[in-house]
Amino acid sequence: MRTVHIGLAGFGTVGSAVFRNLQSNAELLARRCGMRPEIVAIAAKNLSSRAGGAERAAARLLVRDLDVLVADSRVELIVELIGGCGVARRLILSSLRAGKPVVTANKALLAEHGREIFIESRRHGAPVWFEASVAGGIPLIQALREGLVANRFRLLYGIVNGTCNYILSRMTLEGAGFEEALREAQAQGFAEADPTFDIDGYDAAHKATVLASLVAGGCVNFRKVPVEGIRHITVEDIRFAQRLGYALKLLAIIRSLGPNHVEVRVHPTLIPVTNRLASIHGVTNAVMVRGSVVGDVEFSGPGAGGDATSSAVISDLMEAARHVVLQKERVKGAPLPQPPSAVGSVASRVAPAESIVSRYYLRLGVLDRPGVLARIASILGAAKIGISSVLQPEGHEGRVVPLILMTHDARHGAMLGALARIRRLPVVKSRPVVLRVETFES
């Protein structure tokens, strides 16, 4: 049976899980795939903090220099689990230029330098697999690249950050405030000590960029993706949304606007309580895909964690190993077809944030006096924004009361202009809260 030799870069939570699960499932993988994967070198700073038989075995394979993985003639493919965009980028580019296929879970690197990486991949005939970069253990990338290859992807939306979903779930189900829910997420290990990357939406935006590149068929520029986090979300808005029949989730939303043209955004979103995603709680991820042939397909499961993510890495690793074996055994002179990446090297156009159309939830703190609603409606009407419903709860004491408006579809640029005028009204006494509303009916 053919043995494929692997160089592993990184031995953190995911790297150690990959090593451990490869060892424990070696015979199963060999029987199923007809190949035996073997890690022959591990580039990591330190393994001493990790105990156990698998880690002691890994220590014997430790090398200190990443360049060894590329230079070592035994290593036939590279698994990059370092993270970040500095050292990892250099390693991947060096590996591809050496003709060695790469498996990575590095969503940030793919989002910010994907075009460069895929150009080098094609130039040197060394494919890149990246299933674990989005949605942890859910086989979403493979489904988009292979299982649904007959489809144009009209719409893709979902929950791709477990930390934010946990926080919003606690706020929705238990009435916890944002800070309390965040502290609980940190205590449970679902949020980092510095949670900025998650709660400000950047992690979800990196994942959305990777998915948008698959939807569009060309690389999407991460810096053009509108991103909004959940720091400003309050229990008050969640409760008002529930009264109106909506749940609040941080969503990545991607719409195809034509060949190499895509709308992509990440922000808190009101969705109908009847939508399947409204019932996805905790750290679970879930993504809905609307294909031109298959219709709507749902994916859900664990979006993070060492074992879940290692499952996706090992799946890619075995596909990469199969490619290596075929490349070694192919008839001389017959080029091996590249595995489907579905990401072209051209840059896709991204719809500007101002042009994106959606409905809106708008909460204002206004003086409780006649004519206030008429003045606000006049400004919205001048911006061609229609009001679909109004909620002004009773029982609020004092001169300032909440006023909640739901709008019809409006361009984001028009809403921003209207909000600037509304904020200047003397009767508006607090900063407006604005959330997008999506039904995904078309």
Catalytic site includes residue 107 = no
Q: How many CB atoms lie within 10 A of CB 151?
A: 16
Residue with tokens 């674990």: 132
- Look up residue 335 and give its two tokens: 């080029």
- Look up residue 72 and give its two tokens: 């070592």
Show Cβ contacts of residue 199 under 8 Å, excluding neighbours closer than 6 positions: 163, 164, 167, 182, 191, 229, 230, 231
- Look up residue 330 and give its two tokens: 């192919």
Residue with tokens 């192919």: 330
Q: Select which of 100, 207, 224, 328 is catalytic.
A: 207
- Long-range Cβ contacts of 278-282 (<8 Å, 24+ apart): 278/247, 278/249, 280/159, 280/165, 280/249, 281/165, 281/169, 281/172, 281/173, 282/162, 282/165, 282/166, 282/169
Active-site amino acid positions: 207
